Structure 1
Amino acid sequence: MKNIIYNKSKFIILEGLDGSGKTHACQLIKKILEKYKIPHIVIREPGGTPLAEKIRNLIKNFYTYEIINQKTILLLVYASRMQLIQNIIAPALKNNIWVISDRYELSSFAYQGGGFKIKKELIIFLKKIIVKSYLPDLTIYLDIIPKYALHRMIKRGKLDTIENNNINFFQRTRNTYLHLISKNKNSLTINANLKIDIVHQDIKNKLKKWLRTCKIYGTRG
């Protein structure tokens, strides 16, 4: 295979409800970038650094500690995101390393804004302070209906704090995702309700087509 030459790094995000298959999709994209010999890293949100992983554990298991306000969770998510951007994402992109992330700031609008009904003005304010110019070049949204997502979550085992919400919560979250993605020109939507091999083939096809638009100098042997 000829190597395609790129003159800058890219930031690719996987978004969707829990149970939509984001983690497996990240590994699929990793393999594709490896075939193109593109240097890259795979991260997840919340998490990705030692401190951010501790914050992730608090968010997903806070019911074992005390009752917590949803705005507190939002602030914890953005604290984790700040660590990830400053310590991992920014240095990687600066050094021409592509970044694949399992979730990013769109999750805050969908889950905290849509699911938990926190006013979007607060989330926009935090985004302006913390995310700044570190925006994705491509967002791949795995769309799945809530009842299928919940079935997959239950099949995986014990539900965490976020996964333990009712179907109405996930419907609000999905509706918010759909609204945001419809306005995002740098996004691809994947039907994640189908069998995994069909989903992955769709991701491959659409991602490879997008990669061709990133081609800068042609090919070399």
Structure 2
Amino acid sequence: MQGENTSVERGIFIVLEGTDRSGKTLQSHNIYEYLTAKGRKCVKINFPDRSTSLGKTLDGYLKKSIKLAPEVSHLLFTANRWELHDYIKTNLQNGVDVVCDRYSFSGIAYSSGAIKLDFEWCKSREEGLISPDVVIFLDVNLGLSSGRSGFGGEIYENIQDQSNVYKAYQKFTNYSFWHSVNASQDPNVSL
């Protein structure tokens, strides 16, 4: 019909970041539930996406059953994000909000912090991926998060690596869309 506005408002791309056991999965679920309760169309995704063939390889790497060279591991994590690039883009274009548990920032922080790859090299491999509208960094005391259920089961779940990853995350704090939130409280408290 002529004159009718058929444009769709772009969805919001929300990313939750933080060290291991900081509460990202729970809080991303809470944000998803909040948005859907408000009547917004919304999808929730996690990285790595362990359901793809690359994701299955990454799952084995994280669980210490597969060894990868440092550069290869970073490139595979990046490729895993590219596997969902069109899915994210299409949802956003169709007015669907995307809530993401980890994204490029995790890849850069873990690869440069835990396995000591060059920060700028890691960052350059992420170029072209969709930028989030907002990143919520769950800032948690590492002594607290290391005591949470399940800590230690994956390759970087140790205090030294987590401390180095935390330091690498701090390089993003000047980004305008980056918001740090104290996550040292009860993880069941919603943001």
TM-score range (shorter-chain normalised) is 0.7 to 0.9
1:54-133 map, 5 Å: 54-61=56-63, 63-65=64-66, 67-86=67-86, 88-128=87-127, 130-131=128-129
| Superposed CA offset, 1:19-74 (max 9, x none) | 1000000111011101221101000001065334324323313x324x32111110
| Of 137, 140, 146, the match for 1:141 | 137
Structure 1, residues 85-144: CA drift from partner, whole Å, max 9, x if none? Answer: 13x21221121111000000111121111222110222122112x41xx10000011001
Deviation at 1:157, TM superposition (A): 6.5
> Once structures 1 and 2 are overlaid, which stretch shifts more, 119-128 or 33-42?
119-128
Counterpart of 1:179 in structure 2: which amino acid? K
Query: 2:13 touches 2:97 (CA, 8 Å); kept in 1?
Result: yes
Q: Which has the higher helix share?
A: 1
Moved over 4 A (4+): none
Separation (CA, whole Å) in 2 of partners of 1:112 and 1:168: 14
Between the aligned partners of 2:161 and 2:119, the Cα distance in structure 1 is 16
Length-normalised TM-score, structure 2: 0.87
CA distance in 2, matches of 1:101, 1:11: 8
| 1:179 alignment counterpart | 171
Q: Does 1:29 align with 2:25?
A: no
How big is the shift at 1:150?
1.3
In structure 2, the partner of 1:218 is none
Match of 1:170 in 2: 162
In structure 2, list runs of 5 or more residues that go unmatched. 1-7
Partner Cα separation in structure 2 for residue 80 and residue 59 of structure 1: 13
Cα distance in 1 between the residues matched to 2:58 and 2:152:
16
SS of the equivalent of 2:175 reads coil
Q: Quick check: 1:55–1:80 contact (8 Å CA) kept in 2?
A: no
RMSD of the TM alignment (CA)?
1.9
Unmatched 5+ stretches in structure 1: 1-5, 204-221
Determine what percentage of the aligned residue pairs are the same residue.
25
Separation in 1 of the partners of 2:71 and 2:132?
24
1:17 aligned residue (8, 19, 26): 19
Q: How many residue pairs are counted as aligned between the two chains?
A: 184
- Code of the aligned partner of 1:156: G
- Distance (whole Å) between structure 1 residues aligned to residue 13 and residue 182 of structure 2: 22
* Residues in 2 aligned to 1:68 and 1:187: alpha-carbon distance in whole angstroms: 31
TM-score, normalization by structure 1: 0.76
